[in-house]
A and B are shown apart, each in its own frame.
Chain A
Amino acid sequence: QSALTQPRSVSGSPGQSITISCAGTSSDVGGYNFVSWYQQHPDKAPKVMIYDVNKRPSGVPDRFSGSKSGNTASLTISGLQAEDEADYYCCSYAGSSWVFGGGTKLTVL
């Protein structure tokens, strides 16, 4: 149950696109199509932005997209907006358990 590996921080200017990677193993990310991404603003509860690798819950802008290749998943945010500045966590099902990434702080310059 080792944490998934994410970059500690990423940044981008308004309107630009950024991608956050999430590296796991064949026992989690690579073994299941059950990767989800959560956005967390300071002192708030997490909010799901992507689930099942690339599905968006209703209400989440289509600027948010997800993908997976092998043992690595990715979250892409296009057309960055100021309100996207937050912490982002990936999460994968790992067979009767779940594992989160360490989190990535997104700064909108």
Chain B
Amino acid sequence: QVQLVESGGGVVQPGGSLRLSCAASGFIFRTYGMHWVRQAPDKGLEWVAVIWYDGSNKYYADSVKGRFTISRDNSKNTLYLQMNSLRVEDTAVYYCARETSSGYVFDYWGQGTLVTVSS
């Protein structure tokens, strides 16, 4: 069965960096686009970034552009999110999500990993 397992969350000071990972299994990872979506405490969902199945294209929300980098290693079935220059407002649960083969919708989600940015 499809599984997405995030890791790497934790507490970091403003201005710091963190790298999240998402280990995928149960499907052919290299054939799917992958996303990061976040949810601040008691707030709604916010799309963060997408990477195409082969890593050839990446797009970001304006709120993280220039600070976050999405990447993937198809040989390790793993998705990454490198987060630099972190701000208090980046505090959230970060989910990785698979985009369906037909596109534009997220059909499987991980359980999320919490990132807390605080001094």
A binding-site residues for B, Cβ under 8 Å: 1, 3, 32, 34, 36, 38, 40, 45-48, 51-52, 57, 89, 91, 93, 96-103
Chain A's closest residue to B45 (CB) is: A100
Tally of chain B residues near chain A (CB < 8 A):
22
Cα distance A36–B47 in the bound complex, in angstroms: 13
- Docked-complex contact A34 and B104, CB < 8 angstroms: yes
Q: Mark B28-56, 1 if CB is under 8 A from A, else 0.
A: 00000001010000001111001000000
- Docked-complex contact A96 and B59, CB < 8 angstroms: yes
In the complex, which of the residues A36, A45, A47, A103 contacts B104, with contact meaning CB atoms closer than 8 Å?
A: A36
- Docked-complex contact A52 and B104, CB < 8 angstroms: yes
CB-defined contacts of A38 to chain B, threshold 8 Å: 45, 106
- Docked-complex contact A99 and B104, CB < 8 angstroms: no
Cα distance A39–B17 in the bound complex, in angstroms: 31
- Docked-complex contact A1 and B62, CB < 8 angstroms: yes
Scoring A3, A32, A40, A48 by chain B CB atoms within 10 A of each residue's CB, the highest score goes to A48
For residue A60, give the distance in angstroms from its CB to the closest CB of chain B.
11
Cα distance A10–B14 in the bound complex, in angstroms: 37
- Docked-complex contact A98 and B107, CB < 8 angstroms: no
- Docked-complex contact B109 and A102, CB < 8 angstroms: no
Going nearest first, the 5 A-B pairs with the smallest beta carbon separation are: A34-B104, A51-B105, A45-B109, A103-B44, A98-B47
In the complex, which of the residues A32, A45, A47, A100 contacts B44, with contact meaning CB atoms closer than 8 Å?
A: A100
Query: CB within 8 Å of A: which of B77-94?
Result: none
Q: List 19 A-B contacts (CB under 8 A).
A: A1-B61, A1-B62, A3-B44, A34-B105, A36-B105, A36-B106, A45-B109, A45-B110, A48-B105, A51-B100, A51-B104, A51-B105, A52-B104, A97-B50, A98-B50, A100-B37, A100-B44, A100-B45, A102-B44
